[in-house]
């Protein structure tokens, strides 16, 4: 009888610990939960969600390695010489899904020798992002994956919303011009104007 009671107590304790660990893991790994908490608790952060802002001092461009659609290692520095719009997204993120067609259109409209959209998925399986592209007729974006969240971690800025999607505009030298947390219409007049301004500007004051 006592053994049964002890076993029951141990089982309840184990289940409780597992539940706590699950909540903690979700709060660390799931950027949607992170952004939701910021929106609720930080009025300063709430004001910049959905808006392009320039942070000072400018955060350094991530040098983390990510993978392309062929499994080859890539880095953002390879795009130096172009203005790039980095977008970190996931198929399980509703605002990411909503804005992806506009990113695809942006690449079709402005992509080339001077500009590129670099959309990096944080899905665990790159085939999930590949299937999403096929199902939603995303035909102009290259496939990239940040499987270990390394790029995401290096993008983190204290007191700035860190939920997905995260978009950062870089100049030709890899210096940050502006960033945005949350979904956005990337073919809106405001977005196109800002990006064309970055493309036409050869030098940026330090």
DSSP H helices in the chain: 2-29, 31-41, 43-46, 94-110, 126-135, 150-155, 189-200
| pLDDT bracket for residue 48 (50, 70, 90) | very low
Does residue 137 belong to any structural domain of this protein? yes
86 and 134 in one domain? Answer: yes
Give the integer Cα–Cα distance in Å for 159 and 29. Answer: 18
| pLDDT bracket for residue 30 (50, 70, 90) | very low
Does residue 205 belong to any structural domain of this protein? no
Give the integer Cα–Cα distance in Å for 173 and 192. Answer: 20
| pLDDT bracket for residue 77 (50, 70, 90) | very high
For the chain, percent of residues with pLDDT exceeding 70: 73
Give the integer Cα–Cα distance in Å for 103 and 87. Answer: 9
pTM, to two decimals? 0.75
Give the integer Cα–Cα distance in Å for 115 and 123. Answer: 25
> What is the per-residue burial (b if ≥16 Cβ within 10 Å, else e) of 20-33?
eeeeeeeeeebbbe
13 and 82 in one domain? Answer: no
58 and 152 in one domain? Answer: yes
- Decide if pLDDT at 141 tops 70: yes
114 and 196 in one domain? Answer: yes
Left if phi > 0, otherwise alpha if psi is -120 to 50, otherwise beta: which for 57? beta
pLDDT computed for residue 50 by the predictor:
64
| pLDDT bracket for residue 11 (50, 70, 90) | very low
Which residue is associated with the tokens 């500007």? 201
57 and 28 in one domain? Answer: no
183 and 85 in one domain? Answer: yes
| pLDDT bracket for residue 160 (50, 70, 90) | confident
- Decide if pLDDT at 16 tops 50: no
- Decide if pLDDT at 196 tops 50: yes
Give the integer Cα–Cα distance in Å for 90 and 43. Answer: 26
Domain tally, the chain: 2
110 and 48 in one domain? Answer: yes
DSSP three-state, residue 49: strand
Does residue 195 belong to any structural domain of this protein? yes
94 and 25 in one domain? Answer: no
Structural domain containing residue 66: 43-200
163-191, pLDDT tens digit by residue?
A: 899 999 999 999 999 999 999 999 999 99
* Residue 118, both tokens: 């670099």
Higher pLDDT, 42 or 181: 181
Angle between the N-to-C axes of helices 31-41 and 2-29, in degrees from 0 to 180, rounded to the nearest 10:
80
CATH code: domain of residue 180: 3.40.30.10
């Amino acid at each position: 009888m006592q053994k049964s009671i002890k076993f029951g107590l141990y089982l309840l304790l184990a289940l409780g610990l597992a539940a706590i660990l699950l909540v903690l893991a979700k709060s660390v790994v799931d950027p949607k939960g992170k952004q939701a908490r910021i929106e609720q608790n930080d009025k300063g952060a709430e004001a910049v969600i959905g808006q392009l802002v320039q942070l000072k001092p400018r955060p350094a461009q991530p040098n983390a390695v990510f993978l392309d659609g062929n499994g080859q290692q890539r880095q953002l520095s390879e795009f130096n010489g172009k203005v790039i719009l980095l977008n970190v997204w996931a198929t399980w993120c509703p605002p990411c899904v909503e804005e992806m067609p506009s990113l695809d259109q942006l690449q079709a409209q402005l992509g080339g020798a001077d500009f590129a959209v670099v959309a990096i998925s944080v899905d665990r399986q790159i085939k999930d992002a590949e299937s999403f592209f096929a199902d939603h007729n995303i035909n102009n974006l290259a496939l990239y994956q940040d499987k270990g969240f390394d790029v995401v971690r290096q993008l983190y800025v204290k007191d700035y919303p860190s939920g997905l999607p995260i978009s950062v505009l870089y100049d030709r030298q890899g210096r940050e011009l502006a960033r945005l947390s949350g979904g956005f219409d990337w073919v809106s007049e405001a977005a196109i104007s800002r990006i064309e301004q970055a493309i036409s500007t050869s030098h940026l004051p330090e």
